[in-house]
Structure 1
Amino acid sequence: MGMGGSSNTNTPMVGGAPMYPTKDIVDNAVNSKDHTTLVAAVKAAGLVDTLKSPGPFTVFAPTNAAFAALPPGTVDTLLKPENKGTLTTVLTYHVVPGRMDSAALMNAIKAGGGKAVLKTASGGTLTAMMSGSNVLVTDAKGGTAMVTIADVYQSNGVIHVVNKVLLPG
């Protein structure tokens, strides 16, 4: 890597862990202490293999705090085996096929006259827009999440950390 110290300087930190662009979405997410609920949900939904596949995927990854902000009992209910279908729908609603980093998102927002409609892996849509320098993502129920850490590149896509769980209609 030439002179000038560690090659890790450009590796973003999420939940106190470095996110390596050489690792896939799952292998990185399991190391983030802010995403233990998301990882548990991905495992419960049986989506590990999907999110380890070549993709690429753009994942809006809610933090533990985002899941905790849902009505009491929501997460526990979703994690029950009989609710696997619903959980899968909620999780895949946070996944947009393709690699959309913030530059691509901003271009799509500009092209859409201030709004970009993103088709999710669940078949639903998310609407992205700018608020100052922040990217906001609005779900089918009108809830809005802010991207708090953008452009966490993965071997099979990109993660944008969000501060709210997005809910399909």
Structure 2
Amino acid sequence: MKYLISRVITFFSVLLFSFSASAGHHGKDIVDVASENGSFTTLVAAVQAAGLVDTLKGQGPFTVFAPTDEAFAKLPAGTVESLLKPENKDKLVAILTYHVVPGKVMAADVMGLEKATTVQGQDIMITKKDGKVMVDNATVVATDVMAKNGVIHVIDTVIMPK
């Protein structure tokens, strides 16, 4: 029952995020849009710990496949805390930059891709299955959340570089 309630809350928060996205965030950068949403507190904390705030507030454009707090909660216990430690900054940067593709790739464009090269340097695989778009092993749950320096697509799982 607790799991079901959690899923319902996540669904509505993503739905609310999608509606607020359609209202437009063109005056705010990717970090501000994610910060103000409330579903990305872990992602924002990780971006801060990795020293990537200024980059993601920069001109861009960037496409961010943004895992929700629930996506981070799926990781093994202690993983997030470990990654946020200063001695693991390089690993954290690699994981976070694996979620970012240079340029502004809208959902319609993603549908035509089989892979995309990330800022980290490796390719993420893009597949379509049962009407859903998958990025590696993550499902895209909301798309085309606009920011002044790019676009955010919300995913339900943290993806990891090889």
Q: Is the structural similarity TM-score above 0.5?
A: yes
Cα distance in 2 between the residues matched to 1:155 and 1:166: 25
> How many residues in Structure 1 have an aligned counterpart in Structure 2?
146
User: Residues 110-156 of structure 1: CA distance to partner in whole angstroms, max 9, x if unpaired?
Assistant: xxxxxx11100001110111123321111xxxxx1000011101111
**Which structure has more RCO (C-alpha within 8 Å, separation ≥ 6)?**
2
In structure 1, give the amino acid aligned to 2:148. Answer: S
Report the equivalent of 2:66: 61
Bigger share in helix: 2
Query: Structure 1: where are the runs of 5+ without partners?
Result: 1-11, 109-115, 139-143
How far apart are the structure 1 equivalents of 2:18 and 2:72?
15
CA RMSD, Structure 1 to Structure 2 (Å): 1.7
User: Which of the two has higher C-alpha Rg?
Assistant: 1
Q: Which residue of 2 aligns with 1:41?
A: 46
Percent of aligned pairs sharing the same letter: 50
Is residue 2:28 matched to residue 1:23? yes
Answering whether residue 113 of structure 2 is matched by residue 137 of structure 1, we say no
Give the counterpart letter for 2:144 in structure 1: D
Tell me the SS of whatever aligns to 1:87. Answer: helix
SS at match of 1:127: strand
Correspondence 1:14 to 2:7: no
Normalised by the size of structure 1, how large is the TM-score? 0.82
Structure 1 stretches (4+) deviating beyond 3 angstroms?
Answer: 15-19
User: For each residue in 1:3-51, what CA deviation from the matched residue of structure 2 results, as whole angstroms up to 9, or x when unmatched?
Assistant: xxxxxxxxx8429966612211011111121100000000000000000
- Please give the alpha-carbon distance, in whole angstroms, between the structure 2 residues aligned to 1:156 and 1:96: 12
Q: Cα–Cα, structure 1 residues 25 and 56, in superposed 2: closer, same or farther, change >3 Å?
A: same
Give unpaired runs (5+ residues) of structure 2.
1-14
